[in-house]
Amino acid sequence: GAGVSQSPSNKVTEKGKDVELRCDPISGHTALYWYRQSLGQGLEFLIYFQGNSAPDKSGLPSDRFSAERTGGSVSTLTIQRTQQEDSAVYLCASSPFHKITGELFFGEGSRLTVL
Amino acid sequence: GQSLEQPSEVTAVEGAIVQINCTYQTSGFYGLSWYQQHDGGAPTFLSYNALDGLEETGRFSSFLSRSDSYGYLLLQELQMKDSASYFCAAPRGGYNKLIFGAGTRLAVHP
């Protein structure tokens, strides 16, 4: 497809388990972002990748959260030892340019529920 | 730091005009974006104002006043399908790292 693809769309896990969320950005987009959205809330920035530069990890809430981007394309967000407060929709976005345009292209998100 | 403030809810009727305000406090301000998000859907880009003034795109317009640290989204000829959440956002750090407001939920009634 032409848009940002995320999987799984829904994930239910037990507290303490690890989860991996995948994002496939739009082909050719060099910038990739992860955001978290709790129910009825705004989008919380987590991490940003741009080309081969070191990622901006300033939004990761704890060391249980990590992300990688392989080959400048697909990204995986990993949450270790999940907690109930991690329950949210995790949104991935990409953009084609490094310069500021204010426009990101979002995927449909992965809804994570931690029991 | 950076924060964006917007009303939590707005209600309007079909055919009316509604304005959603956004005030911001930020250092190194680059511009203001607006996004629409329907329930269960992905945020979609509506507009970006880098300079002061009004930008018009069909029924939607966006305004920015950098001196007042203020912007708004104007929706005209409201339709039921406009019922959604609207977020203002601003880039931080010299690139498209967007910081979002908490969102304004717009309910359009017949």
Residue with the bigger pLDDT between B55 and A102: it is B55
Query: Are A91 and B98 within 8 A, CB to CB?
Result: no
Residue pLDDT tens, chain A, 115 long: 589 999 999 999 999 999 999 999 999 898 999 999 998 888 999 999 988 888 999 999 999 999 999 887 999 999 999 999 999 999 999 998 766 778 899 999 999 999 9
Q: Would you state the pLDDT for residue A98?
A: 65
pLDDT band at B102 (very low <50, low <70, confident <90, very high): very high
The sign one gets for the Cα dihedral B26, A94, A109, B76 is: positive
Which pair of structure tokens corresponds to residue A109?
A: 């998100």
Largest Cα–Cα distance of chain A, in whole Å? 41
Q: How far is it, in rounded angstroms, from Cα A95 to Cα B7?
A: 28
Q: How far is it, in rounded angstroms, from Cα A100 to Cα A31?
A: 11
Q: DSSP state, A55?
A: P
**Nearest CA of chain B to the CA of A16: how many Å?**
26
Q: How far is it, in rounded angstroms, from Cα A99 to Cα B50?
A: 12
CA A73 and chain centroid, separation: 13
Q: Would you state the pLDDT for residue A52?
A: 81
Residues of B in contact with A35 (CB under 8 A): 100
Mean pLDDT, chain B, rounded, equals 92
Give one DSSP letter per residue of B30-99, joined into a string.
--EEEEEE-TTS--EEEEEESSSEEEEETTEEEEEETTTTEEEEEE-S--GGG-EEEEEEEEETTTTEEE
Residue B59 has pLDDT above 60, yes or no: yes
Q: Would you state the pLDDT for residue B92?
A: 77
**Nearest CA of chain B to the CA of A82: how many Å?**
23
Q: How far is it, in rounded angstroms, from Cα B4 to Cα A20?
A: 31
